[in-house]
Amino acid sequence: MTDTPLPRAAEVIAAHDAALLGPALAPEADDLRGWIAVNHFHNRSLWAQEDLARRTRAPDAEIVANKRAIDRHNQARNDAIERIDEFLLAALGLVDPATLASALPRSTVAAGARLNSETAGSMLDRISILGLKIAAMHEQAQRQDVDEAHRQSCGERLQRLQQQRADLGACFDELLADAAAGRAYFKVYRQFKMYNDPRLNPALVAEAR
């Protein structure tokens, strides 16, 4: 393992919640926590663009702009997940550093460790999205322009979302603890998004001919 301190779920959740209290500013990333912040920023931006893209009275050009922004943020979100996994695997000593940024990072896991089907970065991504859902549902539960039944329903959903985030955070901490102890591991799973690549999207290839 390297000297990079591993994040705990509670630390990440606190950072996610704090970021939502201010404006959505794109963070700089050159370390693990920076990439966690980048992932959260793009999830937050995706959330806003998804809302706007569902407007029914906006001009078509605005909806197209929203859809293209969604593509950009989704690509950046997935790129950040991969970078998070790279940093975590390096910190845990579970990958050959020389192959880390390649399409096929070479695992250095000891025999007998179980492979976790979900990566740690993907778990943090889900925790980020749950944070957005919790913030939005909290607003709904506090609305004064709706009836009590609406507030109560949203309050119940809020409790369930908070439980889901706590459960996922505990699973994240357990995975990192097991990985550090040699009992479990995960890999960098490359998304290879084809629709944004003009070399791989058939429609874009045909358009360029």
Q: Are 94 and 179 in contact (CB under 8 A)?
A: yes
Position 2 pLDDT exceeds 70 = no
Tens-digit pLDDT profile for residues 109-159: 988 999 999 999 999 999 999 999 999 999 999 999 999 999 999 999 999
Q: How are beta strands 114-115 and 184-185 bridged, if at all?
A: parallel
- The half-sphere exposure of 25 on its side-chain side, counting CA atoms within 13 A, is 8
pTM, rounded to two decimals: 0.91
Tens-digit pLDDT profile for residues 36-88: 999 999 999 999 999 999 999 999 999 999 999 999 999 999 999 999 999 99
Q: Which two tokens stand for residue 36?
A: 């966690």
Angle at 125 between CA 120 and CA 126, to 5 degrees: 100
Q: Which residue ranges make up each domain of the chain?
A: 9-192
What pLDDT does 1 receive?
A: 56
Q: Among 15-19, 83-87, 157-161, 189-193, whose mean pLDDT is lowest?
A: 189-193
Type of residue numbered 150? H
- How crowded is residue 185: how many other Cβ atoms within 10 Å of its Cβ? 21
Q: Are 119 and 85 in contact (CB under 8 A)?
A: yes
Q: Are 67 and 151 in contact (CB under 8 A)?
A: no
